[in-house]
Amino acid sequence: MKDKIKIGIIICDRYRTCAGGKCFRSLKNREGAFSIYKDQEVELVGYTTCNGCPGGNVEYAPEEMIKNGAEVIHLATGLVVGYPPCPYLVHFRDFIETRYHIKVVVGTHPIPQKYLNIHSKLKTWESSEWQKLIQPTLADEKTRLAYD
């Protein structure tokens, strides 16, 4: 394995009681957006919510994660698949990268199949911007079904 990488995860506040099961499973299995670490050891150094719309926690949580060694911040898949998807997602990504000079990855666990189905019907992710945003969390159907 290559060097260890330290990451932080920011989840949507509407899922604030989430125990992180899908994110942690996908991190362990290097699935979804975590597939980029397939040859690396990963340490989770922070896990928190955005603190609700419009995401006040996004202003300072990355700083704490960075003090704990974070080299990458992941914006959880829940910000993408919830309905409606987070209207601040791109703002969060751009703010964190600009303010803290740290890489931000949109997504954690693979998009569950049931969410792909409904968002496809609703045409939520048809724009080229959304296609780029969901790319790290797309997986094959078998994997998506395992996250339903």
Question: pLDDT confidence of 3, banded at 50, 70, 90?
Answer: confident
What average pLDDT does the structure give for the chain?
96
1 pLDDT above the threshold of 80:
no
Structural domains in the chain?
A: 2-146 (3.40.50)
Side-chain-side CA neighbours of 146 within 13 Å: the count stands at 16
0.85 cut: is pTM over it?
A: yes
130 pLDDT above the threshold of 70:
yes
Average pLDDT for 7-22 = 95
2 pLDDT above the threshold of 90:
no
Residue 40 CA to residue 42 CA, distance in Å, equals 6
Average pLDDT for 15-33 = 96
The proportion of the chain whose per-residue pLDDT surpasses 70, expressed as a percent, equals 99
The tens digit of pLDDT for each residue in 37-84 reads 999 999 999 999 999 999 999 999 999 999 999 999 999 999 999 999
The tens digit of pLDDT for each residue in 80-99 reads 999 999 999 999 999 999 99
Residue 134 CA to residue 53 CA, distance in Å, equals 21
Q: Which residues, at least 6 apart from 61, have a Cβ–Cβ distance to it below 8 Å? A: 8, 10, 46, 48
Cα 2 from chain centroid?
22
Residue 106 CA to residue 108 CA, distance in Å, equals 7
